Amino acid sequence: MKNKNDVINYVLVGLLVIGAYFLGSYKTKYDLLRSGQAQVGGNNKPAAEAAQPEKKTELTKEEWQEIIKDPFAVEGKENAPVTIVEFTDYQCPFCERYAQQTYPQIKKEYIDTGKVRYILRNLPLPFHKYSEEAAIAAYCAGKEGKYWEMHDKLFENQKEWETAKDAVSLFAKYGDQLGIDIRACQKDDKVAEAVGKDLDLAKKIGANGTPTFFINGKMLVGAQPYSAFKSLIDSELK
């Protein structure tokens, strides 16, 4: 009887060990799948990597011509050898950092010297409560010849209006400070449509985040340091 019980115990222990092995194996595969590290199809690539499309680094000629066509907000000589197109969101903190720290250097060294033509387009992100209204305010100011003044004011005061209960009225007050009245324009559906066209254009060419830049068609994403812009611009000037 003792030997029989020993055999049963050994068998039970063996079954528990085998069961634990398979449970651990399936758990590992499940965890890998969830983390995007599971190999797919024996190609030795993680699942997440295998599913990602090739990263876009440059626009086609057709796309480039489309985003530089009929710009509303533009600075610099029309025949400048380098053109930069920025897609921005006025409520984006990275856009604010770029506008405060890097853009002034680009303006001084390249735009004001005739080397760069600078175009700004809107990309209001859906999770930013007032970004579309801010873009509309800038557009309305532009209709009065004060686009870049409003551009600067919106970024300088970003922390004030992004937490305001009525940012739209605050934007109108910024207009007052610039000597213009944008209240009627802010309610104009055609202005909202113009901002929406920029958004549609951004989606079409694959600009999904802000700020996104195209320097003679070459993509640069994020609030990069001035040196990154200088390197790309200078390479285009050679």
Q: In terms of domains, do 147 and 85 share one?
A: yes
According to DSSP, the residues that pair with 213 across neighbouring strands are: 86, 220
According to DSSP, the residues that pair with 46 across neighbouring strands are: 39
pLDDT tens digits for 84-120?
999 999 999 999 999 999 999 999 999 999 999 999 9
Q: In terms of domains, do 72 and 138 share one?
A: yes
Q: Is the pLDDT of residue 41 over 50?
A: no
Identify residue 93 by its one-letter amino acid code. Answer: P
H/E run at residue 219: strand 218-221
d(CA 118, CA 190): 24
CB atoms within 10 A of CB 228: 15
For the chain, the average pLDDT equals: 83
Exposed, middle or buried, 24 (CB in 10 Å: 0-12/13-18/19+)? exposed
Q: In terms of domains, do 97 and 40 share one?
A: no
For residue 51, the model assigns a pLDDT of: 38
Q: In terms of domains, do 17 and 130 share one?
A: no
Average pLDDT over residues 141-166: 97
* Domain presence at residue 153: yes
Q: In terms of domains, do 218 and 170 share one?
A: yes
CB atoms within 10 A of CB 66: 14
Q: In terms of domains, do 18 and 112 share one?
A: no
For residue 56, the model assigns a pLDDT of: 73
Contact 48, 211 (CB under 8 A): no
Q: In terms of domains, do 46 and 139 share one?
A: no
> Of 142, 136, 134, nearest to 194 (Cα)?
136
Identify residue 237 by its one-letter amino acid code. Answer: L
End of a domain among 33, 51, 69?
51
How would residue 175 be classed by pLDDT, with cut points 50, 70 and 90?
very high
Which CATH number is 123's domain given? 3.40.30.10
Q: In terms of domains, do 26 and 118 share one?
A: no
d(CA 130, CA 91): 7
Q: In terms of domains, do 211 and 172 share one?
A: yes
Q: Which residue has the higher pLDDT, 1 or 49?
A: 1
Phi and psi dihedrals of 25, rounded to 5? -65, -45
**Which 3 state secondary structure label does DSSP give 213?**
strand
* Domain presence at residue 106: yes
Q: In terms of domains, do 22 and 88 share one?
A: no
For residue 223, the model assigns a pLDDT of: 87
Q: Is the pLDDT of residue 68 over 90?
A: yes
Q: In terms of domains, do 179 and 108 share one?
A: yes
Q: How many residues does the chain have?
A: 238
Q: Is the pLDDT of residue 176 over 50?
A: yes
> Number of structural domains, the chain?
2
Q: Which domain holds residue 42?
A: 2-51
